[in-house]
Every structure is written in structure tokens, then in C-alpha cells.
Amino acid sequence: MTLALPATAIVSKLEAELSGSIVESSDNTITVKDEFLFKVASFLRTTPGLDFDYLNFVTAVDYQAYFEVIYNLISLEHNHGLIMKTRCNNREKPELPSVISLWRGADFQEREIYDLFGIVFTGHPNLKRIFLWEGFKGYPLRKDFKQ
């Protein structure tokens, strides 16, 4: 059974390695500061014992005050999972580092978030609209989108 890895165990490891990176944590969820996102992600990907080798999905939610981007990480080897979140406060110019160099599976999903939420993933090799056409005005999944 996929174990929800208790976040407390990871939080203490992360605090030792990258202090100040965690905003909050609950059962199986950690929320990390956006400037630490890539470092935390590569730590989770490469640390023996954690080995999150599989990026299950990436998505975003518009909470109006901020965007939340959610990464569901899984280790196929140990059969455990974790939800990593990060917040993007700048509504005008939301930006996050791309995790495509860690997990190729992020490719289309980051493009989808860019397409529908307008969050820019820096370092993505081919960041352009995926479902809507170039020239489409606005980002439909934002709560303030008007047709």
C-alpha cells in the first residue's frame, strides 16, 4: 500500500539540509518557499531512503491571494508518496523554477499550468501554450478570468 510518508520525518531532514525552506507541513503534505522549490525537489529526488523518482502529477490552484502549485511525488521503489506544495504570491508575474531536469514527466504539465494559469516555469525548454492557441487572451483557470 502506498504509504503516506509522515511529513515530520522529511521536515526534520530538510530543516537540517536547507534551513528555512519549509513554510508549513501536515500529515503527508509539505509547503515549501518558492525560492527553495528546486533545491527541495532535488533533495527529495536524490536522497537515499526518500528516492522520489516518480512525479505523479503537477497542478495549480488559484486561491486568489496566491497561486498554489502542487507536486505529487512517489517513490516506486519504497512505495511511499508525498505532496509538495509551493505558493506564488506575485499575481502579475508568477514565476517558479521548472523541475523538468529532475522529472521529464513535468514537461506537458508545466505547459498546461502556464497555458491555463499563466505561471511561468523558468528553465522549461519549450514553454508555450499547449491546449489554447497562441494569441489567446487571459488564463481561463484563474478565478478572475472573464470570458
Partner 1 sequence: MVLKTEKFMINAGPQHPSTHGVFRMRFTLDGEVIQDVELVFGYLHRGIEKLAEGLTYTQDIVFTDRLDYLASMTNNQAYVVSVEKLAGIQVPERAEYIRVIMSELMRISSHLMAVGFLLNDLGAFLTPLLYMYREREKILDLFDMVCGQRLTYNYMRIGGLSQDIPEEFLPALKKFIDSLPRFIDEYDQLLAQNEIMLVRTKNVGILSRESAINNSTAGPVLRGSGVKWDIRKADPYSVYDRFNFEVPIGNIGDIYDRYRVRIEEMLQSISILKQAIEQLPQGEIQAKVPRSFRPPKGEAYGHIEGPKGELGFYLVSDGSVNPYRLHIRPPSLLNLTVLRELLIGVKIADAMAIFGSIDICVGEVDR
Chain positions contacting partner 1, by CB under 8 A: 1-2, 53-57, 59, 61-62, 70, 72, 76, 79, 83, 103-109, 116, 129-133, 140-141
57 vs 122 by CB, closer to partner 1: 57
Q: Sort strands 95-97 and 120-122 into parallel, antiparallel or unpaired.
A: parallel
18 vs 54 by CB, closer to partner 1: 54
Could you tell me the smallest distance in angstroms from the CB atom of residue 108 to partner 1? 6
> Contact at 8 Å (CB) between 127 and 102?
no
One DSSP character per residue, the chain reads: --EE--HHHHHHHHHHHSTT-EEEEETTEEEE-GGGHHHHHHHHHHSTTT---EEEEEEEEE-SS-EEEEEEEEETTTTEEEEEEEEE--SSS-EEE--TTT-TTHHHHHHHHHHHH--EEET-TT-S-SSSPTT--S-TTSTT---
| Cell numbers given for 68 | 498554489
39 vs 72 by CB, closer to partner 1: 72
34 vs 62 by CB, closer to partner 1: 62
10 vs 100 by CB, closer to partner 1: 100
Could you tell me the smallest distance in angstroms from the CB atom of residue 13 to partner 1? 23
Could you tell me the smallest distance in angstroms from the CB atom of residue 65 to partner 1? 13
Could you tell me the smallest distance in angstroms from the CB atom of residue 75 to partner 1? 10
Could you tell me the smallest distance in angstroms from the CB atom of residue 17 to partner 1? 23
